[in-house]
Structure 1
Amino acid sequence: MGSTGDMKLLSGRLRQAGFDVDSLEVAAGGVVAVAGMAELQDDVRIFAKTLRGDGSDVFQVESEGLRALGELGGVPTPGVVKVTPHLLVLEPMHPRRDGELFWEQLAHTMARLHRSTAGTRFGWHRDGWLGRMRQENAWDEDGHSFFAQRRILRWLPEPLAEKAFDRDDRRAIERLCAALPELIPPQPPSLNHGDLWRENILADPYGNPVLIDPAVSYTWPESDLSMLWCSPRPPESERFFAVYAEEAELAGGWRDRMPVLHLRELLSVVAHGDDDWGAVAEIRKIVAPFARNTKKG
């Protein structure tokens, strides 16, 4: 659907929900949803999202995740104005102004979230969403089992993942999962944002960090770090890791663990059919130490 169709869809859904739209600017780049900033006839500005396809619990899960981050972990998130199966309306956010101070503020925010929400079980009370696919969140008291089953192996039965990986690839991934207790030191679960990459980090009117589009669950805090560490980001974000590592007292070798923890995102990319930047090759590189059959050619 082109931008004109997207604008009509989002504008129509807003009007059906009782919002008097005066102007609308649709944001580019949406895959799952159509999103944009709307100016209402009473000069109020809102951020709105709607689905191109049929309604589901996507927006209910997203709004619940935003509230959980704010209420349980003190994370700044946009206020939820309205949520329906077809529409999510939020308070407006502003573009992120990259600078070391901004990333330092975010480091304090994430360290506080992870410290204040430490728990004993991994998972969440309901499944969520990562992109267009379900994020499985069944409770588990074993973090290594949870990460293996719900964050790595969960993606292998997806049709596009089955097509991308041969038997040797799958066995290498399974061996890595079996070795997780040796690769990831024991650590209690904390509430995670779950999709912490640069596009989900915005700002409030004063330039302070605001987080959007969560995929929450209780899991290893380092899982949040891996998403940001391994995805493209501005050079100023190095300050985030320096501050977070000190405040959260990260265990030694945390940088080496980032690619392993990022497997969840890479496998999701493949399962979604978005492998246009080498996710399959990166996965093979990460699991190479666990591949017993060397591929030739």
Structure 2
Amino acid sequence: MLTPSWLDGLALGEPVSCDVLEGGYASKTFRARTSLGRSVIVKTHDDPPPGLYTLEADGLNALRVPGAFVVPEVLRVTERFLVLTDLGSSVLADQTPDFWRDAGHRLAIQHQQTADKFGYHQDNYLGVLPQRNPWTADGHAFFAEHRLLRYLEVPNCANALPAEDRTRLERLAARLRDLIPEQPAALLHGDLWHGNLLPAPALIDPAVYYGWPEAELSMLDGCGNIPEDFFTAYEEAHPLTPGWQDRLPLLHLREHLCVLAHFGPTESALTKIHDTLAPY
């Protein structure tokens, strides 16, 4: 699907080839090579939700924090496609302990950027579903309403979640203040699973907002295979309240609910939600 108009006005040469890249859900993603020997990443969607790529570009720009992760430069943004600088492979296999220590330190620096309230200056997207980010003074209320309970109104999630688990989720949301300690409203990538962390080390595909740092860590931890070196380096620069490891499964409920909302009933997500909510 090589499209010459992708590179109009960028002085990068004519597109001569492209490869399909795997890993994204909201977009079709390509690495396009040009007649001048350059390569860029192009994300496209035939019928995107309104503002999908403008909001993604905004999130990338928000993550440009000195000392934190590299993020791709936004070369061109339209309603139907986004052109970014190419930061290389997305494969994290066989990364060294030094990589993970560096990544932990960079994420800690990102999380040192804080706001007075939770949320963001605008709503954006997590996948293709709206992510609501109203400025909220109370972090527990923000997470309960806009990161947990909001998925109960999405048909895929509402239809898949058993009634007893829905009741437990509502009960958990009402008790968050007893379960999760106060945390600053830190700058979060918002969708930080392995596929959005590159070996550069760099971040892609954000769903940015200001929220609990432990919520960000819960997503990485929930994906598995994050070595202790990462968390040790993170805590050296950004100490966490003791017991944080035990709280991560609760915070990772947001991701499981988001999976249901996008894909409908999946045995893995339903089982993890049920097991996490069982004590409540």
CA–CA distance in structure 2, aligned partners of residues 15 and 76 of structure 1? 23
SS at match of 2:104: helix
Q: TM-score when scaled to structure 2?
A: 0.92
Aligned to 1:5: none
Worse-superposed segment, 106-115 or 164-173 = 164-173
Identical-pair percentage: 39
Cα deviation, residue 94, structure 1: 1.6
1:28–1:89 Cα change, 3 Å: same
- Residue 112 of structure 1 aligns with an amino acid whose one-letter code is I
The match for 2:33 among 22, 35, 39 is: 39
Aligned to 2:24: 30
Q: TM-score when scaled to structure 1?
A: 0.87
Aligned to 2:152: 156
Aligned to 1:140: 136
The match for 1:194 among 177, 190, 197 is: 190
The match for 2:215 among 216, 220, 223 is: 223
- Residue 20 of structure 2 aligns with an amino acid whose one-letter code is V
CA–CA distance in structure 2, aligned partners of residues 269 and 72 of structure 1? 32
The match for 1:106 among 97, 103, 106 is: 103
CA–CA distance in structure 1, aligned partners of residues 67 and 137 of structure 2? 21
Aligned to 2:76: 82
Q: Is the 8 A contact 1:55 1:86 kept in 2?
A: no
Q: Is the 8 A contact 1:13 1:50 kept in 2?
A: no
Residue 255 of structure 2 corresponds to residue 258 of structure 1: no
1:88–1:17 Cα change, 3 Å: farther
Q: Is the 8 A contact 1:120 1:189 kept in 2?
A: yes
Superimposed CA distance per residue, residues 52-85 of structure 1 (whole angstroms, 9 cap, x where no aligned partner): 3246211111111111110487431011111111
1:162–1:80 Cα change, 3 Å: same
The match for 2:203 among 206, 211, 220 is: 211
Cα deviation, residue 187, structure 1: 1.1
The match for 1:129 among 125, 135, 157 is: 125
Cα deviation, residue 247, structure 1: 2.5
1:159-170 superposed matches below 5 A = 159-170=155-166
1:94–1:155 Cα change, 3 Å: same
SS at match of 2:242: coil
1:89–1:138 Cα change, 3 Å: same
1:48–1:274 Cα change, 3 Å: farther
Cα deviation, residue 26, structure 1: 1.1
Q: Is the 8 A contact 2:4 2:14 kept in 1?
A: no
Worse-superposed segment, 188-197 or 92-101 = 92-101
Cα deviation, residue 239, structure 1: 1.3
Q: Which runs of 5+ in 2 are unaligned?
A: none
Worse-superposed segment, 159-168 or 127-136 = 159-168
SS at match of 1:85: coil
Q: Which portions of structure 1, spanning 4 or more consecutive aligned residues, are displaced by more than 6 angstroms?
A: 16-19
Residue 280 of structure 2 corresponds to residue 286 of structure 1: no
CA–CA distance in structure 2, aligned partners of residues 285 and 252 of structure 1? 23
1:48-87 superposed matches below 5 A = 48-54=42-48, 56-71=50-65, 74-87=68-81
CA RMSD of aligned residues (A): 1.9
- Residue 91 of structure 1 aligns with an amino acid whose one-letter code is T
Cα deviation, residue 276, structure 1: 3.8
CA–CA distance in structure 1, aligned partners of residues 118 and 148 of structure 2? 15
Superimposed CA distance per residue, residues 262-282 of structure 1 (whole angstroms, 9 cap, x where no aligned partner): 111110000101654510111
Residue 262 of structure 2 corresponds to residue 269 of structure 1: no
CA–CA distance in structure 1, aligned partners of residues 115 and 45 of structure 2? 34
SS at match of 2:241: coil
Q: Which runs of 5+ in 1 are unaligned?
A: 1-7, 291-297
Cα deviation, residue 20, structure 1: 1.9
Cα deviation, residue 245, structure 1: 2.5
Aligned to 1:92: 86
